[in-house]
Every structure is written in structure tokens, then in C-alpha cells.
Structure 1
Amino acid sequence: METSLRYSGDAKALKLHAKQNLLLLSDTFLQVRGELDTKYGGPSYLSAMLRRFYNPPQLAASLGLGVQFDKREKLGYVVRGKLGFPVLSDESVRFNVKGRCDVDKDLKQRKSRGAAEFSWSVFNFQKDQDVRLKIGYDIVDKVPYMQIRENNWTVNADVNGKWNIRYDL
């Protein structure tokens, strides 16, 4: 099980996040996620999603379909996909396109998101330290964003001043 502590400028509360992947087939698994909001002392997010990965040469793709419960929007469904291409031959720089659509339980309201981003991974930046830098553009909100990840720490920020930080336990 993967666990992390998360904090964002919007929520102003520490959240404990957990994720478990259960292998179903060699390229398909059930991903179960949950989040405990320490401000309210209860779950703020629960989801179960079937995810399939496609890995033809020089390409990485995934498709997911699932159900989620969010304390604000209640029960809903989600479809997500991601496609990545190497930019350099050593695959340290990649170009990714990703999208997501959340739909309410009655299949009436939907919220779509999509982004295009470049990702640069530097393994052994220093001894036992890996670093990844992402620079992207959210095509729905029309907002540039960035991510810096160093081993267990991840910081996300966009030009509108939204930010969050995550520590993987």
C-alpha cells in the first residue's frame, strides 16, 4: 500500500492518502484510493478504478474507468487516459497528454480536465537522489503549471497561485 501526507493552500488541512493496486491481469489492475481529512476526522475521498496499461515500443499509455465518492460532489464516475512519448532517446524527457472526465451519478453533470506536459527525470541527480520536473498546460482552465519531485517530496503549483505539497511515506 502506498501512503502519503498531503497539504494544499486551498484545503488548509493535512490529509492522509492511501492507494493500493490489485493486479488482475498482467497489464490491468484495480486501483483503490482513500483519503482521510484530519480537519474533519473522516474520509474526504474514496475511489475504485480499473486501470489498463498499454506499452508498445516507445510509447506509454493508460486508460482508467471507475467510481468515486467525494465529500463535496458525492458519488460519481470517472474516465481517464494518458499517453506519453519520449522526446530524447534516453527517455529522460517525455511529452505527455492526459485527460479526465468526472460524471455525476445520474450521468448528467460532467467536469472535464486535460493537460499537455513535458517531464524531465534525472536519476541519481546526487547520490541516492532522483529529481523530476514537469512543466505543463491545463487546456480546460488555460493555466500553466509545474511540479518538482525529489524522492519522497512533491510540490505542485500553477500561475494562479494554487499549490500543494505531498510527502510519500
Structure 2
Amino acid sequence: MKTIALLTGRLARVALWVAGIGLVLMTVLIAAQVFWRYVLNDSIIWTEPASVMIMGWFIFLGAAVGIREGYHLSFDVLLYVVPQRIKLVLHSISDLAVAGFGVGMIWYGWQLAEKTAGNKLPGLGISGAFDFAPIVAGGVLIVLFSTERIARRAAGLPTARFGEEAEID
């Protein structure tokens, strides 16, 4: 379990870096588009579709890392009044539901990618399937990280929920 936790931790760190770089890159592209349009009275046709695609990547990668670290939305009122063992069961049920959502992202994202693979994205000239790749990749990471959380909890290890330490010493 320690090796898996270290590998998924590194994968989460890489995903977070890619998401952060994507956020900065999208900001630069939008700023360049504004400059070209309003200062140079011209337009860069590919910045808007590229920015939207990059936004999909940093949203879905960041969301997956948030799930690994325990920062996804939850309704915790009941958890304050139930015993610790019940809390663990409820957290595992939550992680199973999140993993199910990730499976849906993979399944339906893949179908969308297949249906748009023959289309060309205007301005970019690449397959329309690339628009849906972040949904599939994010779904894969969500399933992986949710499964890891369940396995860690079953092994009696911390799951980094709300400030717990995620690393295994």
C-alpha cells in the first residue's frame, strides 16, 4: 500500500502541476487575444478554442487531485454525531459514489470523443475528440484516487481528509 500511495501521490502532484501550468497558459492566451484584438486591431483565431480546451484539462485534473486530498464537496453534519466506525463506512460509501461518477465520466466522455473524432475543431484543425479527452482522463484519475482512498481506509491508513496527512511515513 505504501508504494501505491507514493505513486498516486506523485501522479497527483504531476496532475496538479499540469493543471497549474494550464491555468497560467490559458490566462496568457486570453491576454494575448485581448491585446491583439483591442491594441493591434487583429485577432488570433486559435486562442479561444485552445483556451477552452486547456480549461477542461485544469478543471478535471484539479478536481481529481481534490478528490484524492479529500477536498471534494460533502455533507458532513451526520458525521459529527456518529461513532468513528460508522464515519469510515460513510466515507467509503461517498468514495464509491465518487468512483461511480468517475466511471460515468470515462464511459460517456469516451462516447462523446468517438462521436466527434471525425470533426475538426475550427481554428485548431485537430480532431473534436480532443475536447473530450480531459473528461476521460479526469474520470480515470477520479476512479484511481477514490479506489486508493477506500483501500487506504480499509488498511487503517489516513486518507488526507480535511487536513489529515496523506503521506505514509
**Into which bin does the TM-score normalised by the smaller protein fall?**
under 0.3
Q: Report the TM-score when normalising by structure 1.
A: 0.25
Q: Report the TM-score when normalising by structure 2.
A: 0.25
Structure with the larger RCO, 1 or 2 (CA within 8 Å, 6+ apart): 2
Larger strand proportion of the pair: 1
Larger Rg: 2
